[in-house]
């Protein structure tokens, strides 16, 4: 391999939980292997499109905090997708020499540092690099599944000093672009379809689920979004003979508090599932953090399938919507403006 010749990104500060994720590892669930992949597949696809990659290419998923990376190759083009996330390029003296907002590409050169910030309210950001990461596919995917140490970089979250090898050692000589007009902020309204076990709940449970707000609990992780709110009562009990768990399934254990099953969900489980979040709205749940409010709205399965097709068609049209980003001088001017007013919390360093 030519990895050593090409170079990579050195992890200076890994942030709270940064893992390599692509669109996941389907096809192995019958052997108990979770699908994993990006929590927010829309942000992943958008960031990839901005750097000229296929939508499902592996990127760095930062949760709660950004990260800081040092460029150890000639040059690299990057983009970040997600909420108010930003990228900053620091020169060897640590001074900011360029900055880009979400879904705007930027190029950094050897020795420079790239700082990813998550300014909130979205808790996730995806850092895509032109050409992708030169990491091996495990069972057809580069996604990290930490519990079984599968994929990504040694099957774990990034640590200081890690080197993430790149496919390209030099950015393609072309102008920077941006993808305007996308809303990657957390959505409080989340649409669901009934089932598979809605009949195993008391009659008023679905009404409670859709009329009362639920609050995201801090124990949430990549496996499930744990919610607190009106208790959902079962008819006979919370346990069923285990069956498969679909993405977005809303599992309700004995305490009556719903859990939305996310990317790292187990393939099978033994709790009743009252409803399932539609695939068009599931990426939005990858953006909400503890304390956020979620409101569910019941729709028909046919409508949910239509919405899934609409989202796929929109993503397919994004490459045509790319526009030239501002020249760097204007970026600098804007940067000063932003620094004067924002006082952004530094996610990576905690400063």
Enumerate binding residues for other proteins (CB under 8 A). Answer: 26-34, 138-139, 147-148, 150, 193-197, 240-244, 246-249, 266-269, 273, 276-280, 301-302, 304-305, 307-309, 312
- Using the minimum distance from each CB to other proteins, give the nearer residue, 147 or 174: 147
Nearer to other proteins, 268 or 330 (CB): 268
Residue 70 near residue 111, CB atoms below 8 Å: yes
The contacts found for 207-212 with CB under 8 angstroms, 24 or more apart, are 208/232, 209/250, 209/258, 209/274, 209/275, 209/296, 210/295, 210/296, 210/297, 210/298
Shortest reach from residue 276's CB to other proteins, in Å: 3
Q: Are strands 224-228 and 8-13 parallel, antiparallel or unpaired?
A: unpaired
Which is nearest to 34 in space by CA: 285, 265, 225? 265
- Closest CB 22 distance from other proteins, rounded Å: 15
Tell whether the torsion through CA atoms of 308, 313, 317 and 319 is positive or negative.
positive
Interatomic CA distance for residues 133 and 18, integer angstroms? 14
Pairwise CA distance, residues 332 & 161, whole Å: 30
For residues 241 and 317, which CB has a smaller minimum distance to other proteins in the complex?
241
Rounded to a whole number of angstroms, the minimum distance from the CB of residue 125 to other proteins is 25
Quote the least distance from Cβ 141 to other proteins, whole Å.
11
Here the tokens at position 55 are 């939508």
* Residue closer to other proteins (CB basis): 313 or 341: 313
To other proteins, the closest distance from the beta carbon of 49 in angstroms equals: 18
Closer to other proteins at the Cβ: 65 or 198? 198
The minimum distance between CB 189 and other proteins, in angstroms, equals: 17
CB burial readout 9-31, b (16+ within 10 A) else e? bbbbbbbbbbbbbbbbbeebeee
Residue 211 pairs in a beta bridge with none
Q: Which residues contact 117 (CB under 8 A, 6 or more apart)?
A: 66, 85, 86, 87, 88, 344, 346, 347, 348
CB of 306 to other proteins, least distance (A): 9
Gap between the Cα atoms of 156 and 18, Å rounded: 9
DSSP 64: S
Q: Nearer to other proteins by C-beta: 207 or 309?
A: 309
Nearer to other proteins, 28 or 64 (CB): 28
CB of 305 to other proteins, least distance (A): 4
Q: Which is nearer to other proteins, 306 or 346 (CB)?
A: 306
């Amino acid at each position: 391999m030519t990895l050593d010749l090409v170079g990579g990104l050195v992890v200076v500060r890994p942030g709270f939980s940064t893992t390599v994720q692509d669109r996941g590892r389907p096809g192995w669930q019958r052997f108990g292997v979770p699908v994993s992949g990006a929590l927010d597949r829309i942000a992943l696809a958008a960031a990839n499109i901005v750097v000229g990659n296929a939508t499902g290419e592996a990127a760095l998923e930062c949760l709660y905090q950004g990260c800081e990376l040092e460029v150890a190759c000639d040059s690299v083009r990057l983009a970040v997708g997600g909420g108010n996330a930003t990228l900053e390029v620091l020169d060897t003296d640590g001074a900011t020499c360029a900055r880009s907002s979400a879904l705007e590409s930027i190029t950094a050169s050897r020795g420079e540092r790239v700082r990813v910030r998550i300014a909130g309210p979205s808790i996730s950001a995806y850092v895509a690099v032109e050409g992708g990461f030169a990491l091996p596919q495990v069972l057809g995917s580069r996604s990290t599944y930490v519990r079984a140490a599968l994929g990504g970089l040694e099957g774990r979250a990034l640590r200081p000093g890690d080197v993430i090898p790149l496919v390209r050692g030099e950015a393609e000589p072309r102008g920077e672009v941006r993808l305007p007009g996308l809303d990657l902020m957390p959505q409080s309204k989340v649409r669901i379809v009934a089932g598979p076990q809605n009949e195993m709940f008391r009659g008023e449970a679905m009404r409670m689920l859709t009329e009362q707000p639920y609050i995201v609990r801090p124990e949430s992780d990549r496996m499930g979004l744990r919610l607190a709110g009106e208790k959902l009562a079962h008819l006979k009990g919370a346990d069923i003979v285990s069956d498969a768990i679909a993405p977005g399934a809303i599992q309700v254990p004995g305490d009556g508090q719903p859990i939305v099953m996310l990317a790292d969900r187990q393939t099978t489980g033994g709790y009743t599932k009252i409803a399932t979040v539609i695939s068009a709205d599931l990426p939005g749940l990858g953006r909400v953090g503890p304390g956020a409010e979620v409101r569910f709205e019941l729709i028909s399965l046919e409508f949910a399938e239509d919405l899934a097709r609409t989202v796929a068609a929109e993503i397919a049209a994004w490459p045509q919507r790319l526009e030239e980003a501002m020249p760097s001088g204007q970026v600098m001017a804007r940067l000063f403006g932003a620094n004067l007013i924002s006082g952004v919390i530094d996610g990576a360093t905690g400063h």
